[in-house]
């Protein structure tokens, strides 16, 4: 089973043309994600799996999923 997580592209790095990367915000966690094979821009939402963007996602759907992840995370907090 695989899990793809939605995130918002905040910056794209094309300094290495053969490996286009993006800084992606996953609800406050920023990761570098390969977007080489996708036509994406800053502000787009993508699904990422294993460091690769695998599809574009609707903004509303992505934000709702991130809010659900946050709710789950807070409900599991045992501090």
At 6 the pLDDT is 94
* 45 confidence band (pLDDT: 50, 70, 90): very high
At 79 the pLDDT is 53
Q: Which domains does the chain have, with CATH numbers?
A: 5-76 (2.30.30.140)
- Main-chain phi, psi angles of 70, to 5 degrees: -65, -45
- Main-chain phi, psi angles of 77, to 5 degrees: -65, 120
| pTM of the entire predicted model | 0.86
* 40 confidence band (pLDDT: 50, 70, 90): very high
Q: How many other CB atoms are found less than 10 A from the CB of residue 60?
A: 9
At 2 the pLDDT is 74
């Amino acid at each position: 089973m695989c899990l793809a997580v939605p995130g918002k592209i905040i910056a794209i790095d094309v300094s290495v043309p053969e490996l286009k990367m993006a800084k992606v915000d996953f609800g406050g966690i920023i990761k570098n994600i390969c977007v080489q094979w996708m036509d994406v821009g800053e502000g787009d939402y993508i699904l990422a799996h294993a460091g690769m963007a695998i599809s574009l996602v609707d903004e509303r759907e992505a934000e709702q999923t991130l809010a659900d992840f946050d709710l789950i995370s807070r409900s599991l907090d045992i501090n």
